[in-house]
Amino acid sequence: MIATSGATLEGTPDLARLEARLAEAGLKAGAPIFMRIYKLEMELELWLKRAERFELFATYPICTFSGRLGPKLAEGDRQSPEGLYVVDRQALNPNSRWHRSFNLGFPNAFDRAHGRTGTFLMVHGGCASIGCYAMTDGIVDELWRLVTAALAGGQQRFHVHVYPFRISEAALAARAASPWASFWRRLGEASAAFEEARLPPRVAVCGRQYRVTAETDPRSRGDRPIVVGCP
């Protein structure tokens, strides 16, 4: 997909009506947030917390990412990562080369356990990528407003779960021969745990694998860190 950084992609919400859209959804800037990225569908979902659950606020088109389905393995492979990541205030760059950006935190503990390498894997503005997710400037500006409001409102960090596709039994069965099939199935546990509770799940890295547990505390802001060790 080719577009300029200032282009409006098909499927982009009305960015000029952010406050009105929030009000119509019964949501407020400053509430805790959660994101999910889907490579195949080229979409980023933004969820905000209302009362005891997170609600889907917007689905944004991704302008471009690099590589193919499957995780990032090594510096220079031009592959955009997949996995379960957390982002805190230190990961935000308001003066990015690509307008504004936040660092996904690759390699995380899971990636490092598998010897994966890479740096500066971002969600950013513009529409060019060498391992990042490019959202256009307008979309990243809206994300930035809600990210910074959530962090200012008390959320210590937010989860970004990056999937190869919307995971279902049918989608997994269609790709059962992939070398990444077991990895994708494990990521699917995180997706299912969120769908069950509508709260970002608890994530640990245990024995070089993600271990996911559905969150049960309705007070959760969705800002638990990824734990290294077996729960």
The secondary element (H helix, E strand) that includes residue 47 is: strand 43-50
Residues in the chain: 231
Closest CA to 221 of 154, 162, 161, 145: 154
Verify whether residue 124 is a known catalytic residue: yes
> What is the SS3 assignment for 228?
strand
To which residue do tokens 């660092």 refer? 103
On the CB side of 13, how many CA atoms lie within 13 Å of its CA?
A: 22
Q: How far is CA 78 from the centre of its chain?
A: 18
The secondary element (H helix, E strand) that includes residue 70 is: none
Catalytic residue among 124, 127, 159, 161: 124
Cα torsion at 37, 42, 80, 89 (round to 10°)? Answer: -40
CB neighbour list of residue 177: distance below 8 Å, 6 or more residues apart: none
203's tokens: 């994530």
Please report the sign of the dihedral spanned by the C-alpha atoms of residue 135, residue 90, residue 82, residue 74: positive
Catalytic residue among 63, 99, 127, 132: 132
Verify whether residue 159 is a known catalytic residue: no
Catalytic residue positions, numbered: 124, 132
